[in-house]
Structure 1
């Protein structure tokens, strides 16, 4: 989405925040190259679902000058620990710089509204495109290409629900803590921490690190019943739902 005005300058990064994959960066030192910022949380399913696109764009456009920076802003207790973020970045194989926004300082500077959120700045450090939530991948990539003078076909949709014109059914609201009961979704996830396992409708899911675990997946949005059993040694912080194609 294009911003309503053309003079929104990229905010600076606060000092003394932990950085991963790079020494601390300054936004004013990025002038002369486009910069893509993404707010994310490794405990949020919709953040996890965007990462494949982020990695693909890094591979495609970083050699041409794009600077990509992930801003990890925790929304759950398990992702508050900077070392847990560092482990998640390694586990998820993110190759680009990530800054740990410990107290949502960067979030507040941006007036950010949720996870995930993307902000694309041009070579002058001015905002040229932004997007809240999942989706909008083709639009973001075309905006990147415009800034770099590259005309190529965007990354193919990685899921059926990402395809242009896909009709999605509304999913159930996320629920804090463990939940069993009815839902409507394309997939069911849980924010888990500890060591052990959980059972979702009789299927065991091993838990060995803090994060967002996919419990159930449907080919289309489905109305169903969830029976979640949390095993010993595991904490469930939330049950989350992601959309699916309309039936």
Structure 2
């Protein structure tokens, strides 16, 4: 078992995430990039998969998601939220950066602050290089972002404001989104509507046989692009 107290002498980044949470999936490419960029220099990245939806409580589904998403750094499965509670964690995603003495030096809840985290990693490792460029317009620190509609439980249909709409789905079959079929092949968060910018829209979501929709989630978009 990979234990934090066994990592003395190297910086450690702990990332709480859930493969059914859109915000976790949107942050994951940065975490993977930091592992790829800095593991050889001594950084240890540890994912803690703490479920927020019923499908992600299944360890087999979580392992399949780790493989499907190409996660190469170690991931601890936390189905009973034991590690989550130990950290008194507040939400998804959340990252904690510890120095070589395992002293907490930086933390962040939610999306964003990617450049700040990477620069903190570089400082601990004594490395200077360009940070990972923003992967989406709304990730730019100078981007103007409007508040999106709050996440809705179940198979929500109705008005919304967001940069994208996601559905947390389980089972096998399909859902129909504003008349367009979307195949469901595994449990997880599916982007069902993607806009180029913050948009006001109306969602019509029909859930087919064999599929359960646990929630509809909304992620931000930039304003005025």
Residue 148 of structure 2 corresponds to residue 171 of structure 1: yes
SS of residue paired to 2:63: helix
Superposition deviation, residue 115 in structure 1: 0.1
Identify the residue that residue 132 of structure 1 maps to in structure 2: 109
Residue 86 of structure 2 corresponds to residue 109 of structure 1: yes
SS of residue paired to 2:26: helix
Identify the residue that residue 97 of structure 2 maps to in structure 1: 120
Q: CA RMSD in A?
A: 0.6
Partner Cα distance (1:193, 1:81) in 2: 12
Q: How many residues align?
A: 224
Partner Cα distance (1:102, 1:181) in 2: 32
C-alpha distance after superposition, 1:111-146 (max 9, x if no partner): 110000000000000000000000000000000000
Identify the residue that residue 69 of structure 1 maps to in structure 2: 46
C-alpha distance after superposition, 1:131-172 (max 9, x if no partner): 000000000000000000001110000000001211101000
**Aligned pair partner of 1:84 in 46, 61, 69:** 61
**Aligned pair partner of 2:138 in 156, 161, 166:** 161
Partner Cα distance (1:44, 1:109) in 2: 21
Partner Cα distance (2:3, 2:185) in 1: 35
Partner Cα distance (2:89, 2:83) in 1: 9
Identify the residue that residue 50 of structure 1 maps to in structure 2: 27
- The unaligned stretches of length 5 or more in structure 2 are none
**Aligned pair partner of 1:221 in 190, 193, 198:** 198
SS of residue paired to 1:153: coil
Residue 162 of structure 2 corresponds to residue 185 of structure 1: yes
Partner Cα distance (2:89, 2:141) in 1: 26
SS of residue paired to 1:64: coil
Partner Cα distance (2:217, 2:66) in 1: 21
Residue 13 of structure 2 corresponds to residue 31 of structure 1: no
Partner Cα distance (1:150, 1:205) in 2: 44
**Aligned pair partner of 2:185 in 192, 202, 208:** 208
Aligned structure 1 segments of 4 or more residues deviating by more than 6 angstroms:
none
Partner Cα distance (2:17, 2:90) in 1: 12
